[in-house]
Amino acid sequence: MSNMEIAVTRKVAGEFLGSALLTIVVVGSGIAAQQLSTDIGLQLLENTLATVFGLAVLITVLGPLSGAHFNPMVSFAAVVERTLPLRDALCYLPAQVAGCVLGAVTANVMYAKAAISFSTHNRVSGPHFLSEALATAGLIFVIIALQRVDRGAWSAAIVASYIGAAYYCTSSTSFANPAITVGRMMSDSFAGIAPGSVLFFIAAQILGGVLGLVAVNLLWPRTNEIR
Amino acid sequence: MSNMEIAVTRKVAGEFLGSALLTIVVVGSGIAAQQLSTDIGLQLLENTLATVFGLAVLITVLGPLSGAHFNPMVSFAAVVERTLPLRDALCYLPAQVAGCVLGAVTANVMYAKAAISFSTHNRVSGPHFLSEALATAGLIFVIIALQRVDRGAWSAAIVASYIGAAYYCTSSTSFANPAITVGRMMSDSFAGIAPGSVLFFIAAQILGGVLGLVAVNLLWPRTNEIR
Amino acid sequence: MSNMEIAVTRKVAGEFLGSALLTIVVVGSGIAAQQLSTDIGLQLLENTLATVFGLAVLITVLGPLSGAHFNPMVSFAAVVERTLPLRDALCYLPAQVAGCVLGAVTANVMYAKAAISFSTHNRVSGPHFLSEALATAGLIFVIIALQRVDRGAWSAAIVASYIGAAYYCTSSTSFANPAITVGRMMSDSFAGIAPGSVLFFIAAQILGGVLGLVAVNLLWPRTNEIR
Amino acid sequence: MSNMEIAVTRKVAGEFLGSALLTIVVVGSGIAAQQLSTDIGLQLLENTLATVFGLAVLITVLGPLSGAHFNPMVSFAAVVERTLPLRDALCYLPAQVAGCVLGAVTANVMYAKAAISFSTHNRVSGPHFLSEALATAGLIFVIIALQRVDRGAWSAAIVASYIGAAYYCTSSTSFANPAITVGRMMSDSFAGIAPGSVLFFIAAQILGGVLGLVAVNLLWPRTNEIR
């Protein structure tokens, strides 16, 4: 990451914009899928492909500016890995949450729904906790591992593909991001999450993020012959 | 864009051909989807994937010749960004519109429908206006941003992916292109738009295109340390 | 194409093997789709994605050996473009046809059907003729254009994407290949073609191939400043 | 493969982790598909796309470490090709099998099923044997051919695409991997295989792997002018 010297205001603006656009893609395609398809698996397929496409675009264009995190756990991992100053991460966090909320509201308006319509989709269960922890662990593992094996240039395609796989193979559909979890609380759709499940998901995501960091550092120790 | 010195007639021919082929893909796959599938979400999925594949091909092969705009808003943005002379853009415009019309007619004939069959699909609504404005803003933002971050070489995959995400997450299914909006007026199919909605869509697209240009120049000012 | 000096027997073996594997993918996924799905659009989607994936693989691994044509029209165009000696093309032709027939038979056996079961899928109609001519014209145009704009290295992804778009936007589902048209005659499935429609399709494909060659040479004349 | 000098314990850990994650993707998305969709072809499509995305990610991040085999037949082929010491392959084998079993168990728990629930999906038949032999032959052929044509850097996308095509065009849905065959025995889902069919599948896979090695060495002999 050679973007250490970019003004933090521009980087924060990039995180805000990217988080908003990502949430528009996730929530908007979730609403569209629910309105247009009857089979739930097909709804998830439509939601997944839109998210994969959108994430690849956003990481490609905003990666060189802000790192294209859109996710406090990714920013936290970057601080631990010393590729992002803690000061920047503290500015990223509110921008990411605000962007995700704005994105959910925009998607609602774009589909003629109430701007803020809280989800009633309860997602508290043991299997969901395990799913979110694993999904976040895998996301952090993949992002850091790409840097360790000198394939950071592939991150747009690989992180998007990771989400494409994780949406389908976890029972929670892999939110894996505390900011978008808050945003999706405000969408009464297929892609929503009830307010009462949000802290539960965020706890799983924090645990998973730490696990992912531990795993990647076990497999590629800092002072290793191959980075 | 190093194609400034190519004869304008060849560039215009490239825009005409590319616009026609893009519209054949969009309208043809729209007709096929409507004939072959019952679930509307699945129809949109088929239409989306065909468009993503086709756009990636056309931008790859025609990009080095004409810039592969196929879209007056993209050409307009290129003029503002000084990567296309205004004189060329004025020649591109009629070629893009004529290409899109020819493409729609060809798709109709290929599916044994009346060559010109006007759509009755009314698309005038506030949410559709917001959708088209956002979709076009995003398209222009992504195309210019790719140049600012020196990733113009990825434009085929990224612009195609952008459309793949935008088709699904906007309630208007993201026409985001005044020329193809005119062409799709002539297809009485899933992918069509009623003549009475065309100017409404184009107004939203122009507004969106201007917004996209403003946003990309705010985030990457011309005289910036990182382009 | 720097494979001019490879022994022709190895190149012909590559064409035979690749044609067989391509046909296994096309016909096998066609049979699977028909057996597993009820919606015809969904069947075509499954058939399309399998073909896109398979074609990308085969062009990547066999391209450096034989050019990965698997298609007499592509070999014919290569002769005209002087990237393949006529003598080699004459050896490719029977290998391509034999490979496609073997592939169809293998797919039949793999699905416990009669090894040779002629299709009853009649495909003779004006719109189908137009579709096949356009699909083949586009295929030849794209393959040659990739060389003209120095993007031959992208051919695996781009040719696969082209077929992905063409399957969906043409009413004939884009065979665009005389050899596989013969092979698909021997599959009584979704992907089959009745023997009585084969010559009709091949005529359209030959006409389309010539049109594609003319178009690409009009847009990129041989003695042009940009190749 | 320049990873000959990496400590074998780290490489084995990479194979164990990758095999577990791959099986979570395959089995988890299989359970999700079966729970969410009714059309079996659509279930397979969801399962296929998740696997393609997941495999591309895992090969990208773990390839530089262990080679990203996750499959004893691939490791065996690497030994024959002299890119992996026999001693390492003997350590890979139990790690791959244990990883696949752990992955299947994790997927079961993530979906609130019994941790170990043996499949009742009987898959013994002649066409299935042919399918598995061909699928494994093709996999080994593609992996070695990528090295022969100096495109090993593309292996993540190409091997993932290969599996995407093979899932759909074989009647066995292409396990093509003895380790994951053992793991999938422990999933009573769409993606499972009855214990009584496991040895039958493994026999077909071993035969296919040998055939793939023979084919690739016939087409690209070791002492050839083009590697």
ipTM (interface predicted TM): 0.94
Q: Is D161 on the interface with A (CB under 8 A)?
A: no
Residue of C nearest to D42 (CA): C37
Nearest-angstrom CA–CA distance, B193 and B187 = 8
Residue B77: both structure tokens together: 């943005």
- Does D165 contact C at CB distance below 8 Å? yes
pLDDT over 70 for what percent of chain D? 96
Each residue's pLDDT tens digit, C75-106: 999 999 999 999 999 999 999 999 999 999 99
Chains that touch C (3 or more CB pairs under 8 A): B, D
Name the CATH architecture for the domain at C8-219: Up-down Bundle (1.20)
Q: What is the Cα Rg of chain C in Å?
A: 17
Q: Tell me how long chain C is.
A: 227
Tell me the C-alpha distance between D121 and D101, whole Å.
Answer: 17
Distance CA B15, CA B63 (A): 10
Partners of residue D156 in chain C, C-beta under 8 Å: none
Whether B38 has its CB under 8 Å from any CB of chain A: the answer is no
Residue B71: name the closest of B208, B197, B180, B225 by CA.
B180
Residues 100-129 of C with CB under 8 A from B: 125-127
CB D106 within 8 A of CB D22: no
Report pLDDT digits (tens) over D3-59.
556 789 999 999 999 999 999 999 999 999 999 999 999 999 999 999 999 999 999
| Torsion on CA atoms B14, B18, B19, B23, rounded to nearest 10 | 160
Residue-by-residue pLDDT tens, chain A, 227 positions = 445 567 899 999 999 999 999 999 999 999 999 999 999 999 999 999 999 999 999 999 999 999 999 999 999 999 999 999 999 999 999 999 999 999 999 999 999 999 998 999 999 999 999 999 999 999 999 999 999 999 999 999 999 999 999 999 999 999 999 999 999 999 998 889 999 999 999 999 999 999 999 999 999 997 544 44
CB contact under 8 Å between A110 and B146, yes or no, is no
By Cβ distance, the residue of B145, B169, B225 closest to A24 is: B169
CB contact under 8 A, A42 and D42: yes
Select the residue of C39, C126, C165 nearest B37 (Cβ to Cβ).
C39
Which one of C1, C11, C60, C184 makes the best mutation probe of the D interface by having the most chain D beta carbons within 10 Å? C60
Q: Which residue has the tokens 């010297």?
A: A5
On whether the CB atoms of residues C4 and D226 are closer than 8 A, the answer is no
Touching subunits for chain A (3+ Cβ pairs under 8 A): B, D
Yes or no: say if B91 and B12 are a contact pair by the CB < 8 Å rule.
yes
Task: Decide if pLDDT at B224 tops 50.
Answer: no
Q: Which two tokens stand for residue C65?
A: 């050996």
The answer to whether the CB of A155 falls within 8 A of the CB of A92 is: no
Please give, rounded to a whole number of angstroms, the shortest distance from the CA of A151 to a CA of chain D: 8
By the 8 A CB rule, do A53 and B165 touch?
yes
CA distance D210 to chain A (A): 31
Asked if residue D60 lies in contact with residue A145, where contact means CB atoms within 8 angstroms, the answer is no
A-proximal residues of B, 18-37, CB under 8 Å: none
Tell me how close the Cα of C191 comes to any Cα of chain D, in angstroms.
12
How far, in whole angstroms, is CA B23 from its chain's centroid? 9
Contact in structure between A109 and A30 (CB atoms under 8 Å): no
Query: HSE of A182 in the Cβ direction (CA atoms, 13 Å)?
Result: 18
Tell me if D45 and C46 make a contact (CB, 8 A cut-off).
Answer: yes
Domain segments of chain A as ranges: 8-219
Indicate the Cα dihedral angle D208, D213, D215, D216, nearest 10°. 140
Residue C117 is inside which H or E element, if any? none
In this predicted structure, what is the pLDDT of residue D190? 85
From chain C, pick out residues whose CB is under 8 angstroms from the CB of B114: none
> Which of B25, B51, B60 to mutate: most C Cβ within 10 Å?
B60
How far is A59 from chain B, CA to nearest CA, in Å?
10
- Is the pTM higher than 0.90? yes
- Token readout for B21 is 């082929």
CB-based contact B30:C127 (threshold 8 Å):
no
Inter-chain CB proximity A110 and B219 less than 8 Å: no
Q: State whether D25 and A169 contact (CB < 8 Å).
A: yes
A175 near A135, Cβ under 8 Å?
A: yes
pLDDT number for residue D226: 44
The predicted pLDDT at position A190 comes to 85
Q: What is the pLDDT of residue A220?
A: 95
Q: How far apart are CA C21 and CA C106, in angstroms?
A: 9
Q: Which residue of A has its CA nearest to B42?
A: A37
The CA distance from C149 to C161, in Å, is 18
Contact D146 C13 (CB under 8 A): no
Q: Within 10 Å of residue A4's Cβ, how many Cβ atoms? A: 10
